[in-house]
Amino acid sequence: MNHNEVFALLNAHLDGQIALSHQEHIERHLRTCTICSKELAGLRALQHSVRNLPREIAAPDEVWQKVAQATGRPSPRILQFQETTHPRENKVRSHGWTYRIATIAAVVVIALVGFLVGNIPGRGSWNVATLEGSPCVGTTPIDVKGQLGHGEWLETDKNSRARVSVGSIGELVVEPNTRLRLLQGEGTDHRIALARGTIDATIWAPPRIFFVETPSATAIDLGCAYTLTVADNGSGVLNVTHGFVALELAGRSSIIPAGATCETRPGIGPGTPYFVDADAEFQQAVTEYDFGTDKEKALDALLRLARPKDALTLFHLLHSKRATERARIFGRLSVLSPPPAGVTRDGILSDDQKMFNRWAEDLGLENHDWL
């Protein structure tokens, strides 16, 4: 079984609905594939969280006022989740798509409550807690807990760390020697500027609500956890541990999945993502191709060293404006990850948007405008 086949069966594998003959193939793949093993771990964590959800949720009155205004009808004060009492239905609902739909519905309801709370006027500031040392908001040290308001800077020195609540949609751990500013703190735009240093972000909101602006790119959350470091010269490095992150600047963009990394440079923007377990020579070739001068030699190395999972890198390289390079990249990528039905060489080389998106979906990189 290949990567895409195993990835598509992870939900059924978690539910115990896979035949024994296939389970062996899946377990063997999971031992060597970082992406699938992390995805399975995330599904297990989600399943555990949903099983421990409260049976009812009492939200603040102002939330229900907003619900009533939006729907034009009275709203209950408590959300209740009920299980059927029919034994057979309970068995069916505990597995497969019915269970996952119920899971998603419960998570969406909770996220909606959190989102509405975050939209209440006057809640544009974020809570900050000291983890080590004496972080400062502006020039004022944070004792134990504090607030980061709109336009204010949070700074840590070499001995301090802080935790920041990103409204109701996630949190940041701010590492030593970091300086960041809150630009927007509520609604559908939660945004900070990271001038220097390192943040560890965990976001559980819908995609494209949390943004990190840096001197060389904007990191756009697509439902994820990641570490982002910005050097004093404005260059950056993004490492994704769960989900996906987009890096964008002036029309140049990259999609980075879990287990992958991507560099950014001022005046250039995001480079090409690659998996952190790639060969060292392959990684060096990516950096040379993106930011160096000998692109032809770098491309030779990339095409020679690429593994099937490095289709991620080669797919991004298809955006090269040089036709001869794109033809070579297409040829190698087609061997490593054959394009799906309906995607042709001529279509890709002529920038057919639908074909790009179809191939991206097959590679697990959907939900992005690739041209």
Note the pLDDT of residue 57.
Answer: 56
Indicate whether 117 pLDDT > 50.
no
> What does each C-alpha distance from 287 to 257, 331, 360, 366 come to in angstroms?
18, 22, 23, 25
- Measured CA to CA, the distance from residue 333 to residue 7 in angstroms comes to 20
359 in Cβ contact with 339 (< 8 Å): yes
φ/ψ of residue 19, rounded to 5: -65, 150
CB count within 10 Å of CB 145 equals 10
Note the pLDDT of residue 92.
Answer: 34
Q: Is 128 exposed, middle or buried (0-12, 13-18, 19+ CB in 10 A)?
A: buried
pLDDT digits (tens, 9 = 90+) for 13-50: 877 777 776 777 777 787 777 677 767 777 776 666 56
315 in Cβ contact with 333 (< 8 Å): yes
- Nearest by Cα to 11 from 97, 129, 125: 97
- The DSSP output letter for 371 is -
CA gyration radius, the chain:
23
* Helix ranges restricted to H, 119-161: none
- Tell me what the mean pLDDT of segment 84-100 comes to: 41
Note the pLDDT of residue 371.
Answer: 43
Give the chain's end-to-end CA distance (angstroms, integer). Answer: 31
This prediction has a pTM of 0.68
pLDDT digits (tens, 9 = 90+) for 160-203: 999 999 988 999 999 999 999 999 987 889 999 999 999 999 99
121 in Cβ contact with 142 (< 8 Å): no
Name the average pLDDT for the chain. Answer: 81
212 in Cβ contact with 264 (< 8 Å): no
pLDDT digits (tens, 9 = 90+) for 136-159: 999 999 988 999 999 999 999 999
- Tell me what the mean pLDDT of segment 38-63 comes to: 63
- The DSSP output letter for 309 is G
- The DSSP output letter for 308 is G
